[in-house]
Structure 1
Amino acid sequence: MLVVFEKAVGKPPEELKLPSTGLENMKSRQEIGEIIRSFWPESMVYSLRNGNFMALSHENESPSQPRSTVVTDDIFCIFIGALENTSELRRHYGLSRQATEAMVVVEAYKVLRDRAPYPPDQVIKDLEGKFAFVLFDATSQTLFLARDREGCVELQWGMGGDGSLVCSNDPNIIRETCGKSCAPFPPGCIFKNGSGLMSFDHPLHKVIAIAREDDNGHICGVIFQVDLYTRLPSIPRTGSAANWADPTVVETD
């Protein structure tokens, strides 16, 4: 999987470029498009507006982490991994038994969109399993990323030379396109443009970037993790998907 979005759509955290020594290894969206065709010539590519794109390859696909994609109502979703509670989620969203994990995620996103301002963590925390996905709503220009709690499915994100957001499950692709301006996408987290990065298990705590230094004191990498010592100000939050019908239920972190 490789997705690339211009800064106006998927503004990446500025901390991603801290380890960079310059722009010599950071590629533009056009250059990244050429790289993906050389790395994965058989990949399925969705070309979007302004040079943005989403690509999926089945090369070296693991049976335990299948890759799937779905496009419906101008919503594009690439899903890697498997959900343990797919049957339960199908029933909850009124989907058929043939509905894939990617279709379930799209339906969950529609709930977030149509019931706004419903907190995104309330839906994503109901996904159980090993997964990573990227969803893009072309109509509203909404970008949504998530990774499972244990980080079982590889997902890296980085910054291109033109400030674009780059995400992939292939670390080699990320290094080729972003140089050192990349990091693992934090497990148990979601990223939504306009809202930024947050933990879906600890939504009332900020996700912070921590720089790693080498022996010479130079920043050699960045990791993102939940700051459990600092609580964000918040308003009362409604309960999970199981109690949508009862607005009196309040969840605490």
Structure 2
Amino acid sequence: MCGIAGLFHLTSNHSIDPKVIENMNNKQEHRGPDAGDYFFDPGVALAHRRLSIIDIEGSPQPMMSHCERAIIIFNGEIYNFKELHTELSNKGYQFNTHGDTETILNAYLEWGEDCVHHLRGMFAFAIWDRQQQTLFIARDRLGIKPLFFSLLGDGHFAFGSELKVLTAHPLFDKALRSTTIEDYFTFGYIPEPNTIYQNAFKLPPGHRLLLKKGDKKIHLSQEYWDIPTNNVEELTESEVKEQLADRLKEAVEIRMVADVDLGAFLSGGVDSSAIVALMSKLQSEPVNTCSVGFDVKEFNETEYAQTVANRYKTNHREEFVDQNDFDLVDKLASLYDEPYADSSAMPTYRVCELARKHVTVALSGDGADEVFAGYGRYKRHLQAEKKRNLLPLGLRRSIFTPLGNLYPKLDRAPRFLRAKTTFQEMAMDSVEGYHNSISILRIDERRQLFSDGFNESLGEYTSLEVFKQYEDKYRNLDVMKKVQYLDMKTYLVGDILTKVDRASMAHSLEVRVPFLDHKFVEWGFKVPTSMNIKNGIGKYSLKSAMEPYLPNDVLYRKKMGFAVPLAEWFKGPLKDRLYDGLLSRKMIESGYFNQQQIQHLIDSHVKGVRDNSSALWTLLMFESFLRQNLES
């Protein structure tokens, strides 16, 4: 696991100031504390920070091909590099190292841009081709590894593994993108391909981009892979039962290759427990496992983690976090470089901190909920869809739109009186309804939060456009596969994988995700919905496949998640922080917000009238970003 950075002038061959690229690269030293080096050509500068995992003594980067035609910088792991090494050696390519970096380099020389089709793993890389005078960049299929880029005012194409690499360039434009602020207060993160900055972007998962010297602008990136959505033939029940565990075991096994200490996160949930169980079957030594617990019972899963650790006799370590562990609030803003409102980033940071004390590589269970429909919101979406199907959409819109607009928000009333959200969602189609149900702030709440001027600047734009960009892909999927696909394109990459990458790399820890092996995802997406949600049980296909490996109280207990007690923090130790931060001059003078609405959100929460903790945390993270962004 590493960090990459680079500058490429589209039209000029003038030399690049080494101090500029060095300053950019130093911003991501945490991603690769073991080594850092540079390559310069006319109009090109490549930089790398290395965390040594495989071929520790060899594989320095930037790396030049044996023929000196191409130079690569690479972040990630290629799990089939040994097979590719053999194949390319048989084709006459020479290797000076024993790692995966040189394998990508020779694969590029053999197959060009199509080399990505041969790679199995997580990656973000850039290759400067001296012969073709091109810069080729690519990102892995699911977006496990990040890659940001921007075209600067002087014609330089800048890129890096984190946004802070780009913002370190003296010519980077820090103007914010208005539409992504609307997106952020819906989702709690900035969805691909945008960033909070107007002139910076994320290379989307499964995309590649080729830049040629002489180009005057950046061309659209090309998608080379996507989750299969057209004419997908579903698996039979017998195929799922026979194959799921074995396919997952194979995805785990290829991720256990490392020349450093390796372990796994063990939360006590189904996904991480499944990974640990399979790892234990694949190695003779005890698996190194770690978990973070909380001193509040409703947030603590350590007893289930200990059950799995005892069953497989792992080297288990756990630490308990005080429920008032909110010292990370400001650190999160600098860690994620743009507004990011998933509060589970705090315990994720702590579990990565614990893991790094004992291992350099950890396997995680991320991705299983998206592939096998494990989130509770999926079951709620199915229930809502049954209600929507009782009446045609046009009739529903005419009846329920005015009801949704007029009915008051009654969160503290008895459940049968809390009908506003139901009325709103009954007036929507399936995707609109799902978008509304997962929004931190619904569209009417966002419009109340934003100032009149900012609402006017947004015009007709709403965050629903984030989903609509994938409409041609999800159109023919069933109601559940549709939202699973959307979550894989948005929530998985924008929230879950972003959270884990930044939290782990802050501690120079590499995290590998077997559930997101692209071959496993292609297979898993063909599991029928009837097997994923069965008898009210989400992720049923995975749970039933893991019955020989895990006890029922781990497999079939209620999902807890990695939560923190925000509601109580905002009534107690963080109350003053809310008033001071959210009503500060910087927030009000930003022009984005309605001061009276922010005041109302804080007051009604502190007085116990309504739980506004999600909205307040989202605002607090934006305030922290805004303050640090303006100060820098």
TM range, normalised to the smaller chain?
A: 0.5 to 0.7
2:67 maps to 1:49: no
SS of residue paired to 1:193: strand
Determine the C-alpha separation between the residues in 2 that align with 1:155 and 1:228. 25
2:21 maps to 1:36: yes
Q: Deviations over 1:202-222 (max 9, x none)?
A: 5xxxxxxxxxxx952369xxx
Match of 1:133 among 104, 112, 125: 125
Determine the C-alpha separation between the residues in 1 that align with 2:168 and 2:69. 30
Whether contact under 8 Å (2:80, 2:119) holds in the other structure is yes
- Cα distance change, pair 43–97 in 1 and its aligned pair in 2 (3 A): closer
1:188-199 maps to which residues of 2 (within 5 A)? 188-193=206-211, 196-199=220-223
Q: Deviations over 1:42-61 (max 9, x none)?
A: 841211113x2111123xx4
What TM-score do the two structures reach when normalised by structure 1?
Answer: 0.62
Q: Which amino acid aligns with 1:78?
A: I
C-alpha displacement at 1:96, in angstroms?
5.6
Determine the C-alpha separation between the residues in 1 that align with 2:23 and 2:16. 13
| Unmatched tracts of structure 2, length 5 or more | 27-34, 175-196, 213-218, 227-446, 474-632
Determine the C-alpha separation between the residues in 1 that align with 2:99 and 2:469. 30
Partner of 2:138 in structure 1? 146
- Cα distance change, pair 54–96 in 1 and its aligned pair in 2 (3 A): closer
RMSD: 3.7
Whether contact under 8 Å (1:160, 1:166) holds in the other structure is yes
C-alpha displacement at 1:196, in angstroms?
4.9
Which is helix-richer, 1 or 2? 2
SS of residue paired to 1:133: strand
SS of residue paired to 1:57: strand
Whether contact under 8 Å (2:72, 2:105) holds in the other structure is yes
Identity within the alignment, %: 19
Determine the C-alpha separation between the residues in 1 that align with 2:100 and 2:11. 28
Partner of 1:242 in structure 2? none
Compare 74-83 and 94-103 and name the one that shifted more: 94-103
SS of residue paired to 1:82: strand
Whether contact under 8 Å (1:159, 1:166) holds in the other structure is yes
Q: Deviations over 1:48-94 (max 9, x none)?
A: 113x2111123xx4859x98431122311011110111111112211
| Unmatched tracts of structure 1, length 5 or more | 10-27, 114-119, 203-213, 231-253
Determine the C-alpha separation between the residues in 2 that align with 1:201 and 1:160. 29
Compare 84-93 and 40-49 and name the one that shifted more: 40-49
Match of 1:229 among 449, 456, 472: 472
Determine the C-alpha separation between the residues in 1 that align with 2:64 and 2:74. 12
1:61-210 maps to which residues of 2 (within 5 A)? 61=51, 68-72=61-65, 73-94=68-89, 98-113=97-112, 120-121=113-114, 123-177=115-169, 178=172, 179=174, 180=197, 181-193=199-211, 196-201=220-225
| Alignment: residue pair count | 188
Bigger Cα Rg: 2
Determine the C-alpha separation between the residues in 1 that align with 2:132 and 2:95. 27
Determine the C-alpha separation between the residues in 2 that align with 1:174 and 1:128. 28
C-alpha displacement at 1:166, in angstroms?
0.7
Compare 185-194 and 97-106 and name the one that shifted more: 97-106
Q: Which amino acid aligns with 1:167?
A: F
Partner of 1:3 in structure 2? 6
Whether contact under 8 Å (1:29, 1:162) holds in the other structure is no
Which is strand-richer, 1 or 2? 1
Determine the C-alpha separation between the residues in 1 that align with 2:95 and 2:207. 28
Determine the C-alpha separation between the residues in 2 that align with 1:124 and 1:190. 8
